[in-house]
Every structure is written in C-alpha cells, then in structure tokens.
Structure 1
C-alpha cells in the first residue's frame, strides 16, 4: 500500500528565487563599488599627472627657447650661433617641442614639488629658406633641474650615447627615455609655431 506523498510546495521556490537574486545583486554591488571607486581614483590621478606634465612641458619649452647662444652650446645644441652673420646666413629663432616622461621626486604632484624633469625634446632653428623639414634640429631625452638658475643637461651625442642617457635618466624611466616622443601633438604644435615664425 502506498502512502500519499505531499506535493512539493511551489511557493517557497518562487520566494527563494527573488531572495537569491537579491543576494547576488548585493554581492555584485559589493564588488563593483570598490572597483568603480578605484577606477575613479586612478582616472583622477592620471588627469592630475597629465595636467602636471602639461605645465612642465610649457615651462621646459620656455627655458629651451629662451636660452642664450652660450646656454645652447652648453646643452650640446649646435644651432650655428657661432657662425658669422651675413652672406645670406642669419641666426634664427629656436622653436621647441617638449614631452615630459618623468619627474624627481617620483611622487611630485605640483610644479613646486618637482626638482627634476625628464623629457624628450626637439628643438629646431628658423632660418632663411629652411622650412620645418629642412631645419637644423636637436632632439632626444634631457634632464632639467628646476631652480634658480635652472640647469639643462643633454647627453652628448656620438659613441657611447645610450650609456650617457642611462647615467642621466633614473633607471625607472629608461624605457620611456629610449621610447621617443609619446605626444605627437607637441611636435605638430612646434611645427605650426615654426611655420608662423618663418612665414612658411
């Protein structure tokens, strides 16, 4: 003889499903809120870093473009300032692009905190008949100490150049130092400023 079996109640299952979904939603929220918060912190840090690099680029560009002929020679830039004027040769204006890739101390958050700026630079000199593509240029990684007076250090070109770059730039920035310009807009802006200066 078979005993009657009570049917499985359906109501608790219907109640359990929404409760399970609510628990899952709570767990997802507990995971996503910190992740979203961390993403906002990272985005804010990157925005501040980008703003600092922009200010440093303007500052270093001004230092390079405002340097005297002797200072440029000291930087290792041969822009022909020592050549005689006349006979169709005129010393022009220096136009630079600067792309910072590091600072010292590492945690510097404002320009006032920065002691050293490490950057890629490209400087060109205007002159008669020379457009941007044919201008005399100097480029590569540099180190600039902000202070009074500021100090610009450029590794000497020629044999042994990579090792001189490594001695000048802290090790944590070596990959960036040998990576070239990361901000192509800086070069394009310098090219347009060069064109305005030369009327070309």
Structure 2
C-alpha cells in the first residue's frame, strides 16, 4: 500500500519548535494564478478520493476526505483558536498523536473504519442551500481534463515551482546577506 506524505515531512505538532522552518511549499501559493490553484486543489481532491485512508492534522484535508467518503483519522492539534474545530468531534474519527502511537487500533490503516455518517445531513443541507441560491446543481466534482493534459499541467507546475523556489531562495539569501552586512557595520 503506497503511503504519500503531502506538503510536509511530519505532523505539525512535531514542528512547533521549528516554526520558522516551515516547508517552502507553504509559501509558494502566491506564485500560482487562480487557474493553477484550482488545478492543484483538484489534484489534491483526486488524491484524497483515491486514497485507501488518510491520517492528517489538517482540517482542509480531513473535511474533503469526509465528503469523498475516504476513511480519515484527524489529529486535533489545534493549540490556538480551538473554537475553529468545535463540532468536528461529531463528524470525524479523532485522536491525538500520543494516543494513536500507543494504540494503533484506534484507526487500523489495514482495515480503516468507515467515517461517521453525521455529516450527511449537513452535506445535504449545504447542497440544497447552494442549489436554491444559485439555481444550479453540479453533479460533477472535477473539470474535464484528459489524463495527458493532467500530466502535462503537473509537469508545467513542477517546473514553475522549481523556478520560483530558486528565485525565492535567492531573494532570501540576498536579504540574509544584506542583514548580516548591516550587523557587521
């Protein structure tokens, strides 16, 4: 079973003491135009939908998994603004990292439990409210890119990311050197 580590190398709680060392990928979103951002988001949705199961501490990953019926375990690591997560305990299978580390049966990745069904009423209500507001109900999740177009677009975005990362790091190094020069004076 393939395991993907998307966006970052470890669970956020491990990185709390390294807040200034966040992965560059978090800072790259400003390099993309809105069409590219939609494409990237759509690709994440495809990954979530086709995953066997997902373990995450990101709400923006857990809720789409729930909507796409992918079994998901949510690590609630919110130490700031905990009110943002009120009610999620009724929608998601939750744990904290330490409890899960001590008892992997909480969420068996070989045989993941189904998500709770409590979200279905909320989902239905949101669909109806959206349909009533817009007069339209979209039955499709994704755009109509062909497989070849997806691969080509991904290659283009990777190349752009590499270029922009290099430029970004160049600016950071330049600013760092300028700052060090000022300190020496």
Q: Which has the larger radius of gyration?
A: 1
TM superposition score normalised by structure 2: 0.20
Greater strand proportion: 1
TM superposition score normalised by structure 1: 0.19
Greater helix proportion: 2
